[in-house]
Amino acid sequence: MAKILKILCIGGSDSGAGAGIQADLKTISVCGCYATTVITAVTAQNTRGVQGIFPVSPQFIARQIDAVLSDIGADAVKTGMFSSRAAVAAAVEKIGQYRLKNVVVDPVMVAKGGHALMEGKAVGGVIAKLLPVARVVTPNIPEAEVLSGLRIRSIDDMKKAAAVIRGFGVKNVVIKGGHLALGRKTGSVDILYDGKNYHEFTADWIKTKNTHGTGCTFAAALAAYLARGADVPDAVVAAKSLVTRAIEGSLKIGKGHGPVNILVNMHHTGRIK
């Protein structure tokens, strides 16, 4: 029997099930791995936005991590929403205690509808504590602007921001270009910077407003492919391919931004060399 690869997902719950822990569970299952979860916050959320957030205490975040790792373990970790600096610190302490590898950080800051999901002090915690223990960080354009302090309007700007963010101690930076206006003409371009080389990954632009959960889905898939032994560039290619298909099959649910449909990839294994 093949080894069961386990991915620990640390993040917020989305009651609309398009993003957050619910998206992670679906994505990691599609990627052929087993997902465990640590809830950092519960949200009242639908396709129109976030109506409320109930944070979980840092102490209980740590207790959840202990429960999972003392018994089940993890081959990779994906982090998402942290509502406070103390929550970040609790997770980082446990990542160090259990010597976890393949840590993928999705620096979730704002929901699709514009609701802030992370307080200002928590951003500082991500930069100072979480990025130095991460193998990959996957900000979108607005998140990369916050992390780098730079304005991003072009692919060259993305590269400059990636260099700044890598300076915080993370090994690899993937900046997702879906928010660039030029993407409608050139396609969606993501940038990977590993400290030496820049890699560009392009996919066709898909015209839809139903893109809720793209960031969570991408980062969760990336963690799964790293656990399966892919190097970072190949894992990015596989994750981007999966997400592109999920956007193509996105669901028109609710009255706002519907979710991507990761389940169209039920038989997707990724293009890993």
| Residues labelled catalytic | 176, 211, 213-216
Which letter, b or e, does each residue of 136-150 get, where b requires 16 or more Cβ atoms within 10 Å of its Cβ? bbbbbbebbbbbbeb
Q: In angstroms, rounded to a whole number, what is the distance separating the alpha carbons of residues 194 and 172? A: 5
Tell which residue, 150, 143, 101, 151, has the closest CA to residue 126.
143
Q: Which two tokens stand for residue 30?
A: 């599609």
- How far apart (Å, rounded) are the C-alpha atoms in residues 97 and 129? 14
Could you identify the residue written with the tokens 């956007």? 247
Tokens of 12: 């917020």
- C-alpha separations of 178 from 42, 55, 101, 214 in Å: 27, 29, 28, 10
User: Which residues contact residue 46 at a Cβ distance below 8 angstroms, ignoring those fewer than 6 apart?
Assistant: 15, 16, 254, 256
